[in-house]
Each structure stands twice: as structure tokens, then as C-alpha cells.
Structure 1
Amino acid sequence: MRADKRPQPCDVTVYSDKGSLALRFPKRHNPLWEQLDGKSLNGKPKCLGIGKYGYKDNPEDWKRATQLAIALEVDLDHPEWEKLFDPTLAKYGLGGGKYAKLADVLQLPGAKQPEPEITVGEMWEAYLEWKKTVVEETTFRATYERKFSNIIYGKLWDKQARTYKGADNRPLSEFSLNDKQLNGELGKIKSHAKSLFFREIKRAFDFSKTKGLLRHEITTDPFVDLEEYATPHQTTQDKYSPKMVNGELKEWYEIQDEKELENDRRAFTKEERDTIIQAFYESESLTASECIAPLVQFYFLTGCRTSEAFALTWNDIDFERRVIRFSKSLGASTRKVKETKTGEIRLFYFKAKSSLEELLLAIKQKSIDSKLVFANSKGGGITASLLKNHWLYHTSKRILADGTTKTYYYPGIVRQLADEGKISGYLPQYHTRHTYITLAAHANKHDNNALLYIATSCGNSVDVILKHYLGVTENTQIIEA
């Protein structure tokens, strides 16, 4: 097969033969290669394959191979080449074969081992310092500082001990960016957020390269092949775009056999809503009946987001105009007040003698000196974990007389209702929002002005309500007008 030849910028040439790229060195370098290989070249030039990036049909591979050729020639022809040239070839991203082992047994006169590239951990820490300045603090803590960093540092959640523990494998943070074993370790990652993590770690490499944090200009992106491990991240636009079904273009809501669409924006029925609210008020737990029950009822009656109710103060409620002002939310991890998810201020109007007005007046009457509408027994804020404990479940550990530790499981109210068959199934607390919008939309589906009001007061759009909520189920019980 005839070799592929292209114009060369230096004496170390790049060529392809049988689909793979390789380097051919001028004969003046033969003495060095004969010493490294331990055998004579018999007057023939030294040829060296460049590994996984050497495919002749990829222009980027040709570009990289040319850069390698230039870098090798610059080092080998330099007056102090002994100090610059790396006999293990790791400096050039080629140190994965027999030459990598030479570091322990071979020292050329005056040879200096190249400084290793920065580690994944060093790259990630530098990226985090920048990332925390461009994303919301809650997102940074939950996603970058916790979820993604745990993958980097090999921290696994121990459900029994309720703490993080180190993984058995060597953490990614300890690998150098030019370590040939790094790619294989990335393939072992197990996480539901793996696709998003791979996208972010590649951005971290691009950031380090742009900021000049890499020690060697020739270091290539070790995360370039991550697509083979990751499921492509589907954006909201992709999710709801038209799709071809049996040769016919259909809108997403016309496709009835997609499991994801069947479960999208599920909601409780009106009866299930009332059952849940009643169960909270009748709970034997004072915290559930006195603090959590009014909050749960409020969620069902307004469709507000979880964090918006946590930040609601009495100054946000105007009883004369009968309006609630949603202008802020409370970060779940930071416990800091921030703007709403959409960054907009919404007004939610309620009628005189409505269930919502009666609820707010009852809370106001019992309220101790707290600025918060929904407070715990001491006047402080209710946390997301406290709400989840009473909605889903919580555990408690106790040390028994024999010194052993036993974990007790306490099902949450909604979880227990589902287990007992009193509601059709369990849904997370956020579905109180979907329930309100679904019931209100069905009750007013022929009134465009009402749909516009529902969308505006909930921070949504009429288009979303028409596509997502009015199509959830045809058997939804209509809420009272």
C-alpha cells in the first residue's frame, strides 16, 4: 500500500501507512535510538508510531503528529538536548510503551526528567475557583463542589454510616493529565450524572489550557474520547422537538408510547391532594401537624416552588389586596435568600373567604414573633430536609444496651399513604406544584385569560400549560372554581 505523504515542516517527518500515522527520524538521530532500542538500525531511519491519535483520515491527528515531530526535533537538535529530550517519551504524550520503562534504568548523560503535567485534582481546583464566580452559589455547592468533586476525589456515599468514604480505586484527582491510565479510569465511573460530569471535566481542561496552567504546551486533551462512555445530554429543546415516527413527523405530545412522556409532570388527583393534607394535620407528630401541614397545604393551593415558600415573609402578603408576592427563594444548601428561579417577581391573587385566605389568616393568628410565614416551633425557618423527613422518610440511629448501633426507619406521611394504598402512588413533594397547575388548568381550560393568569402566577407560560399539563391525563378531577 502506498504511503500517504504530505509537505513536512521539519526533518522529523509524518507519514501514514495502512491507515496509521507514524514519525520517521533523520539518520543523524540513529545513535540515540540505537542506544534506546538496544539494537542497530542497520543504516535505516528510525520509525515510531504515535498511538491512539494516529489515524490518517483525521485532520486533527495530522496536526497533532506534526506538532509532535516539531517538538521532538527541537529537543533532539538543541545544544543541550540531553536536558530537554525525554527518553521515556512521556513529555510528548507517547510514553505508554517500552520507552516508559526506561525511566528506571536509563539515564543519558546530563539527562533531566521532565516535570510531570498537573494532576486532574489541580486542574479541577483551579476550575472551581473560577466556576464559583459565574454560577449561583446553591448550584456551585450542590453540583460542582459536591457531586462532581466527589467523582474527582473518589468519594462514595455510605447509606448506613450516612457519610462519605473513599473508593477502593485510585481517585482521579491523583492522575497526571498525561497519564495513559487516566482514560481507562474514566470508563469505570458510575454515576447518574456521568454525562454532565464528562462535559464539565472537558471544560475544566479547556479552562486550564486557556489560562496557561498546563506545564507542557504539547499536552493533549485526555478527555477528548469521553463520548464513548457518556450518554449524550438531552436538552429541553431536544426533548420536546418533533420526532419522526414511522416516517411521519409528530409533535412530542402526540407520541403516546414514550415512557418518559407518560411520567412527565405527574400530579395527584384532587382526592389524593385532600387525603395528603388531612393526613399531615392529623399526624401524631406535632411538627408535622402544626408546622409542616400548613406548608404542604400552601404548596397545593399556590403551586409555588419549594424554596419560594421557605423565604416567604409576612411583608410579602397583602391581605387588603389579597395578593402574595413571590420575589425570592431560599437556597437549600446555603440557607441564603436569593432571587426566584426565573429571576422574576410574581403576584399570586386569592379570593375572599377562599381556602388560601383562611389558611394564611390561621397561620397569622398562631404565628409567634417571626417574620417568616412558615416557621418551625422556635420561630426559625423550615428546612428542606425537615420537609423531606415528614414527606418521604427519615432514619434514626440508637446505641443499644449491648453497645451495637441500630437504625430505625420512619416512613414519611406521603410514603406511608402510598404503601397503604390510600393514594395511587408516591410522588416527591415538588409535584404539589404540578398538581396545582394541572387541576387549575383543567378547571379553566376553556378560558384563555384564566390560563394566562395561572401561567403568570406560577412562573410558567400558556404554551407549557397547554402542552404539558392539559395533556397529563383526561381523568383529572377538576378543582372547584
Structure 2
Amino acid sequence: MYAKTSNSTPDTIKVQSDKGSLRLQFSTRYNPIFGGKRKYQPLGMKDTAENRQKAEAIAHRIESDLQHPDWEQLFDPTFAKYGIKSQYAALQLAAPIPESEPEMTVGEMWEDYLVWKRPQLEETTYRSSYEAAYSNLIKGLVWSKKTKTFTDAGDGLLDTRLGTLDIEKWFNESTRTQAIKQKTLAALSEAFARLQSLGKTKLAANPFILSNKNENKTDKYKPKVDADGIEREWWDVPDNESDNDERDRRSFSKADMLTIIDAFYSHKNAALRQVAPLVEFRFLTGCRSGEAFALRWRDCFRGTNQNNIVFSRSYDGHFRVTKNTKNGDIRIFKMYPKLRELLLKIKTENAQPNDLVFSKLNGKTWDSPTIQKIWDGRIEVRGETEYNYPGVVTQLADDGLIEGYLPFYNCRHTFISLQAHAGTDLFLLATACGNSVETIQKHYLGVNPDVSFADI
């Protein structure tokens, strides 16, 4: 059993205590000069505070000689030069000290990290963030909407060795958004910390941590420019939700909501009429899109009064997988008359517990890419001709039948806004929707222009 190693000794030679006596432990870098084995050099001194100081001084002298360009002339392999008794002398040098192994590249570190990280993440999170967004940034790849391909931006880190990084320059000069750069740096920082814990790097400082030396931390009321180039006052704090859908909390009015629902139910296309109950359900529950896609009849009419819906799963249409809800929670949603009426109307007599509540005409699961085409519209190119097929909601907005266009996801925010303004208990609303009371107070109650003080 060995006592602790001194923290003040050099990196490649450590002072250790072995059964009450001090010795030097040489780094494996020096193995070749000591017959291919790790060298331990006894010092013939008891482990006391005074002797440790002497041992550290000896270690520093030896370290200085070994690191010198003329080390072969300076270093004494008998250790007599360093005041170590002859009975503890080392063997003669067997080979020259090898050159230090170069630090691995960012790409090598990243690939090793991804293998380790993947089992800890939801598959969709791993594939969309780590394997796609972060990896593309590290590779310097930028997606072109025009050519539908990735192009090399010339600012990749993949082949850069860890010891030669200038992460401050890269962060300031890269044209990608602040948010994606920060998230990628956080992942790279974790990858490097793991590398250190495995002893696979000699670097002491994490090269992926920004110094923030130019940041004026005293002037907290100074306007700041966000990732979109918008200057914001100190009080106009942007949301820090993990995705754009959650950050965009705009909502339809109740009149617009009813117009949209009616447009789907009365559409001339049977496939689009099939979407109507799904659209209405999202407006009446505020659930996330994937939660509605994955809902089964066994999740409805739960509880002793058969009055609850349980949201426990979510379907991701991009990767075609069913997973946990966004926050990993299981939410209980209390039904109210209009919602119960909708579910009873669409439930068929032969519906089985594991059947999806909402499905396409062919029985398959709805997904966000399909809904987006129906909601937003699509453009098809045949030969040299471009055909524009407007979506249900974009057409309503273009025709002036609703105040304006909002994405399908904003059905959620419409429900929360209408319920909050109607006086629904905020704790009930927050629990049912997977939000916090503070979020609802800040983002939903505050946007009603008709709210005023009571006349007291």
C-alpha cells in the first residue's frame, strides 16, 4: 500500500512513500532507458515532512537534467550526483529517452467520445445533436438549402491536434450561431475531461473552455446582441429552451383556432379530413406533436372515473422511433367535456387498447414531416416546371381568414394561452403540459392585452 503522491513534484517523476520510506517513481516515458521497465528509485530516507522536501528537490534536479537537450551528458544514471547513496544506485542507461507521443487530434478524441456517450442518450438526441449538428460543426460542414448538400466551410477542427488548438479564435471567427457553438464546445469539453481521466493526454488545461477575458461582467445592464443578430435590452432575456419550437410561444386566437379546425374537417381531400381530429386534439390538450402521434387507446379514459389521459410516449417521425416524452416524465391530463366528446366520437367499436388514437388512412403513424407538408404546403419540381401546393393553414392565412400563419407546434401554445387567460389553475395547467408555473406566468399571462387591474 502506497501513501499519496506529492502534488508539487514534476510531471514525469513523482515522490512516493513505500512502506514508510521515500522513493522516486519515473514516468513510463523513461521505461526504455531503464531496461524497458518502469523505474522506481529508493532514496534511503524515511517518509517525513523534512525528507519529502529533500526528495522533491532531488526529483526536480533529475527532471531538469532529463529534460535538457544535453541530457545524456548531464544525467547521472548512478544517481550519485543527486546525493543518493550508492547502494540505491540505478542500472546503466539501456536506451535513449524516446520523444513524447504527440497529442491526439480532435477527431480521434471525438470519435472515441461518441462511442462512450451514445448509450447515455436518447437515440434521437444522439443522432440529431451529437452525430449530426455537433459533428458537422467539428468537421466544418455547412448545409446548403439551395444545393441540398453539405459544403466545407474551412473551419473544421477534426484534424487539429489538441496541443495546437486556438479555440478562442475558432469561436470568434466561425460563422455558425452562438448557441450551436456553445453546445458543441460543451460536448468537446466533456470529451476532453474524459480523456484526462483516462490518462490519454498530457495537457493539464482544458483547451475547450473559453476565457471570457473580454467580457464586461460589471456592466450587466448593457444591451447584448443574441445569436440572431438582434440587440436585446438586459430585461429582454431570450428563452433557453432546447429547441426552437418551445421557444416560439406565439399562439392563435380562439377564433383562428376554430377556423383552422373547421377547415380540416370540411376539406375536400379525405386524407386531410383524417388529420382534423389530431389537429383538434392538440388544440384541446396542448400536448407536443410526438405525444399525440404515439397516443394509444390504452392511454385514454384512465383512472377510477375514466377521466384521465396519460402521456408517457413520443413518436419521432424523422428517425421513426417511439421514445419517452421530451422531459422523460409521465403526465396525467384531466379530460373536460369537449375533449371527452372528441375522443368518444372518433373511437370505433373495434378499437383495441394498443391501437393508435390517430393514424393515417393506411393505419400508419402520423409524423411531423408529413403534417408539415399538410399544414405548410409543399413545392414539387417536375422537369422545368415548379408546382406550388399550399398547405391548409398557409392558405387560410393567405386568404385573410386567420390573422396570420403559425407552425403546427403552436397548437400547444394556443391551448396554454387560452387556458391561462380563462383563469385555469396554473399548477394544474403546468403539470398537465409539462411546464412550470413560472413559465406560464412569464410567457402566457403576460401577453394578453386585455388584462388589467381589478377596480378596487
TM normalised by structure 2 equals 0.65
1:200 aligns with 2:187: yes
1:427 aligns with 2:412: no
1:213 aligns with 2:200: yes
Using a 3 Å threshold, how does the CA distance of structure 1 residues 120 and 230 change in structure 2: closer, same or farther? Answer: farther
Instruction: Please give the alpha-carbon distance, in whole angstroms, between the structure 2 residues aligned to 1:359 and 1:225.
Output: 53
Question: In the alignment, is the contact (CA less than 8 A) between 1:264 and 1:472 conserved in 2?
Answer: no
Using a 3 Å threshold, how does the CA distance of structure 1 residues 416 and 213 change in structure 2: closer, same or farther? Answer: farther
Instruction: Please give the alpha-carbon distance, in whole angstroms, between the structure 1 residues aligned to 2:73 and 2:317.
Output: 59
Following TM superposition, by how much is the alpha carbon of 1:329 offset from its aligned partner in structure 2, in angstroms? 1.9
| Structure 1 unpaired stretches of 5+ | 1-7, 11-66, 82-109, 233-242, 246-254, 477-481
Following TM superposition, by how much is the alpha carbon of 1:372 offset from its aligned partner in structure 2, in angstroms? 0.5
Match among 61, 65, 72 for residue 79 of structure 1: 72
Q: SS in structure 1 opposite 2:365? A: coil
Name 1:169's counterpart in structure 2.
154
Instruction: Please give the alpha-carbon distance, in whole angstroms, between the structure 1 residues aligned to 2:234 and 2:173.
Output: 35
What is the correspondence of 1:64-463 to structure 2 with a 5 Å cutoff?
A: 74=67, 76-79=69-72, 115-162=101-148, 164-169=149-154, 171-179=156-164, 184-192=169-177, 193-214=180-201, 217-218=202-203, 221-225=206-210, 227=212, 258=236, 260=238, 265-290=249-274, 292-318=275-301, 321-351=306-336, 354-365=337-348, 371-398=355-382, 400=383, 408-444=387-423, 450-463=425-438
Instruction: Please give the alpha-carbon distance, in whole angstroms, between the structure 2 residues aligned to 1:274 and 1:431.
Output: 14
Using a 3 Å threshold, how does the CA distance of structure 1 residues 464 and 160 change in structure 2: closer, same or farther? Answer: closer
Aligned amino acid, residue 392 of structure 1: D
Following TM superposition, by how much is the alpha carbon of 1:285 offset from its aligned partner in structure 2, in angstroms? 3.8
Instruction: Please give the alpha-carbon distance, in whole angstroms, between the structure 1 residues aligned to 2:393 and 2:213.
Output: 40
Question: In the alignment, is the contact (CA less than 8 A) between 2:167 and 2:210 conserved in 1?
Answer: no
Number of matched pairs: 350
Instruction: Please give the alpha-carbon distance, in whole angstroms, between the structure 2 residues aligned to 1:125 and 1:140.
Output: 13
Q: SS in structure 1 opposite 2:403? A: coil
Aligned amino acid, residue 280 of structure 2: Q
| Structure 2 unpaired stretches of 5+ | 1-7, 11-59, 75-95, 223-232, 240-246, 452-456
Question: In the alignment, is the contact (CA less than 8 A) between 1:195 and 1:230 conserved in 2?
Answer: no
Instruction: Please give the alpha-carbon distance, in whole angstroms, between the structure 2 residues aligned to 1:387 and 1:228.
Output: 47
Using a 3 Å threshold, how does the CA distance of structure 1 residues 440 and 172 change in structure 2: closer, same or farther? Answer: same
1:473 aligns with 2:451: no
Encode CA deviations 1:177-212: one digit per residue, 9 max, x unaligned: 233677644543222222222232233222222222
Q: SS in structure 2 opposite 1:426? A: coil
Paired-residue identity, %: 37
User: Aligned-pair RMSD on alpha carbons?
Assistant: 3.9
Following TM superposition, by how much is the alpha carbon of 1:165 offset from its aligned partner in structure 2, in angstroms? 2.0
Q: SS in structure 2 opposite 1:460? A: coil
Using a 3 Å threshold, how does the CA distance of structure 1 residues 299 and 228 change in structure 2: closer, same or farther? Answer: farther
Using a 3 Å threshold, how does the CA distance of structure 1 residues 358 and 72 change in structure 2: closer, same or farther? Answer: farther
Using a 3 Å threshold, how does the CA distance of structure 1 residues 267 and 315 change in structure 2: closer, same or farther? Answer: same
- Greater mean deviation of Cα atoms: 151-160 or 303-312: 151-160
Aligned amino acid, residue 346 of structure 1: R
TM normalised by structure 1 equals 0.62
Instruction: Please give the alpha-carbon distance, in whole angstroms, between the structure 1 residues aligned to 2:349 and 2:268.
Output: 19
Using a 3 Å threshold, how does the CA distance of structure 1 residues 286 and 120 change in structure 2: closer, same or farther? Answer: farther
